[in-house]
Amino acid sequence: MSDITQQAQQPVARDFRQIVARLKSPWTVVIAAPLLVFIFDQANTAPVIEFAARAFVGTLPFIFVAVMMIAWLKAAGAEAYVARAFEGRENRMIVLAALLGGLAPFCSCEVIPFIAGLLAVGAPLSAVMAFWLSSPLVDPPTLVITASALGWPFAVGKAASAVALGLLGGFAIKAALAAGLFSDPLRQRSQGGCGCARSPFEGKPEWAFWRTDSRRSVFRSEFASNALFLLQWLALAYVLEALLVTYVPASLIAAAVGGNGVGSIATAAVVGMPAYLNGYVAPPLLAGLMDQGMSAGAAMAFMVAGAVSSIPAMAAVWSLVKRGVFASYLALGLLGAIGSGIIFQLIT
Collapse the DSSP code of 295 into the 3-class scheme (helix H, G, I; strand E, B; otherwise coil) and give the result. Answer: coil
Task: Tell me what percent of the residues of the chain surpass a pLDDT of 70.
Answer: 76
pTM for the structure as a whole? 0.70
Cα separation, 215 vs 121, in Å, equals 27
> What is the per-residue pLDDT across 25-38, written as a single tens digit (0 to 9) for each?
788 888 999 999 99
- On whether the CB atoms of residues 17 and 31 are closer than 8 A, the answer is no
Among 344, 346, 303, 328, smallest CA distance to 126 is for 328
Q: Is the dihedral of CA 122, 124, 130, 133 positive or negative?
A: positive
- Cα angle for residues 87, 93, 94 (degrees, 5° grid): 160
Q: In the prediction, which pLDDT does 286 show? A: 86
Average pLDDT, the chain: 79
Cα separation, 30 vs 235, in Å, equals 7
Instruction: Tell me the residue ranges of DSSP E strands in the chain.
Output: none
- 22-51 burial: b if 16+ Cβ within 10 Å, else e: eeeebeebbeebbeebeeeeeebbeebbeb
Q: Is the pLDDT of residue 219 over 50?
A: yes
How would residue 18 be classed by pLDDT, with cut points 50, 70 and 90? low
Cα separation, 227 vs 220, in Å, equals 11
Cα separation, 286 vs 284, in Å, equals 5
Mean pLDDT of 176-194: 68
Cα separation, 289 vs 6, in Å, equals 51
Residue 36 parent element (H or E): helix 26-40
> What is the per-residue pLDDT across 229-278, written as a single tens digit (0 to 9) for each?
778 877 887 888 788 778 877 666 666 666 777 888 998 888 877 665 66
Neighbours of 262 (CB within 10 A): 14
> What is the per-residue pLDDT across 75-123, written as a single tens digit (0 to 9) for each?
887 766 666 777 778 898 899 888 887 666 555 455 666 676 677 667 7
Cα separation, 134 vs 159, in Å, equals 9
- Cα angle for residues 265, 268, 271 (degrees, 5° grid): 150
Query: Which is higher by pLDDT, 320 or 295?
Result: 295
